[in-house]
Structure 1
Amino acid sequence: MTILPIRIYGDPVLHDVAQPVGDIDDSIRELVADMYDTMDAAPGVGLAGPQVGVGKRLFVYSYEEESTGERWRDVAIDPVLWLAPTEPESLLELDEDSEIEGCLSFPGERYPLRRSEQALMRARNLEGEEYELRVSGWMARILQHEFDHLNGVIYCDRLEHPWHKDAFKRMRKRSWGGPGKSWLPGTDNLEG
């Protein structure tokens, strides 16, 4: 398998709505295998097609809930996502510990972001079988984050002030925000 370069904020594929996968063929199977290798090498808990330069509606995910030992590791092909309503941010302070989020396409940075506590996803796996996943907590956050990638949204686009301002200041300092920027897990060190 191959570790793929991860596109950095500003690359056009990250900001476009991804197209349906449709038929699952050997090229999709190979892409998914490479995406698992890339996600694991990063390391990350999810990785969407656009993040590796493929504008298709699919993502891989891998997460273990420490408190329960429950594990999730699969691919979501052409997913649909429903969310439980969230509390308005104006009524609650963001918790910088429990609501912190990062992104492999905005490497080395983490910011608090309000997400829905519960999510329901329907998708196809690599065999083309439809499945349903009803989750809460961090796994719900992961699904929302990766689903956003399929719609051309990066988590830092959703940040509130002052975190939004700080994220884009750091992006300008690193000369991100345009096409052609990427990093290769296991080779490039972009943390911090």
Structure 2
Amino acid sequence: MAVRTIRLFGDPVLRAVSEPIGDIDDGIRALVQDLVDTVALPGRAGVAAPQIGVGLRAFSYNIDGDIGYILNPVLVEVRGEPEPVSEGCLSVPGLWHDALRHPWARVEGIDLDGAEIVLEGDGLLAQALQHETDHLDGMLYLSRLSPEDRRTAMREVRESDWF
């Protein structure tokens, strides 16, 4: 279908809680294709539907060349104590800060046929699962920063050429 433009910090769609997907129709199939096309670009680990302007619970991922998607994902389990992990976001371009993330995560949802999908793992996958489900709940990674880092990040946002 198409690589979609990423919505940037300040766009209201990024702060809204996404709606669950009901019927899987041609519109949802097109959304999934756009999410997959958009995440396939180099340097991208995940793209949530709100990042392309769609307030529905879906995201795509690209972890070490393994590209996929999940509909109506729910973060059902995390393991380990949250630890600071260097993180960026396509919706906050050019910024990298340490966000608190659990070292292991499990997400459950469905595919386009309505079959159950389970995504689980550690490292970059765990980080992406947490990051993308946050997007679906209207949260950007900036909310996961320490107060001091958040102040620094917000100053960097205000000084950026894209804001």
Normalising by structure 2, report the TM-score: 0.91
Map 1:122-141 → 2, pairs under 5 A: 122-141=108-127
Residue 121 of structure 1 contacts residue 133 of structure 1 at CA under 8 Å; is this kept in 2?
A: yes
Distance 1:85 1:176 in 2: 36
Residue 80, structure 1, aligned to residue 74, structure 2: yes
Residue 74 of structure 1 contacts residue 125 of structure 1 at CA under 8 Å; is this kept in 2?
A: no
**1:117-165 per-position Cα deviation (integer Å, ceiling 9, x unaligned):** 1111111112221122221222111000000000000001221132211
Q: Per chain length, whose mean CA-contact separation is higher, i.e. which structure has more relative contact order (CA < 8 Å, sep 6+)? A: 1
Mark the structure with the bigger radius of gyration. Answer: 1
Residue 36 of structure 2 contacts residue 67 of structure 2 at CA under 8 Å; is this kept in 1?
A: no
Distance 1:105 1:21, change over 3 A: same
Structure 1 window deviating more from structure 2 (22-31 vs 36-45): it is 36-45
**1:60-102 per-position Cα deviation (integer Å, ceiling 9, x unaligned):** 01102xxxxxx6422110011123354366xxxx4xxxx1011
Secondary structure at 1:55's aligned position in 2? coil
Higher helix residue share? 2
Secondary structure at 1:35's aligned position in 2? helix
Residue 104 of structure 2 contacts residue 123 of structure 2 at CA under 8 Å; is this kept in 1?
A: yes
Aligned-residue identity in percent: 41
**1:11-50 per-position Cα deviation (integer Å, ceiling 9, x unaligned):** 1100010000111111111111112222223641100000
Normalising by structure 1, report the TM-score: 0.78
Higher strand residue share? 2
Distance 1:62 1:175 in 2: 27
| Match in the other structure for 2:11 | 11
Distance 2:80 2:147 in 1: 19
Distance 2:95 2:40 in 1: 18
Q: Which runs of 5+ in 2 are unaligned?
A: none
- Aligned Cα root-mean-square deviation (Å): 1.9
Map 1:110-149 → 2, pairs under 5 A: 110-149=96-135
Letter in structure 2 aligned against 1:74: G
Residue 83 of structure 1 contacts residue 116 of structure 1 at CA under 8 Å; is this kept in 2?
A: no
Residue 59 of structure 2 contacts residue 69 of structure 2 at CA under 8 Å; is this kept in 1?
A: yes
Distance 2:33 2:118 in 1: 21
Distance 1:83 1:15, change over 3 A: same
Q: Which runs of 5+ in 1 are unaligned?
A: 65-70, 178-192
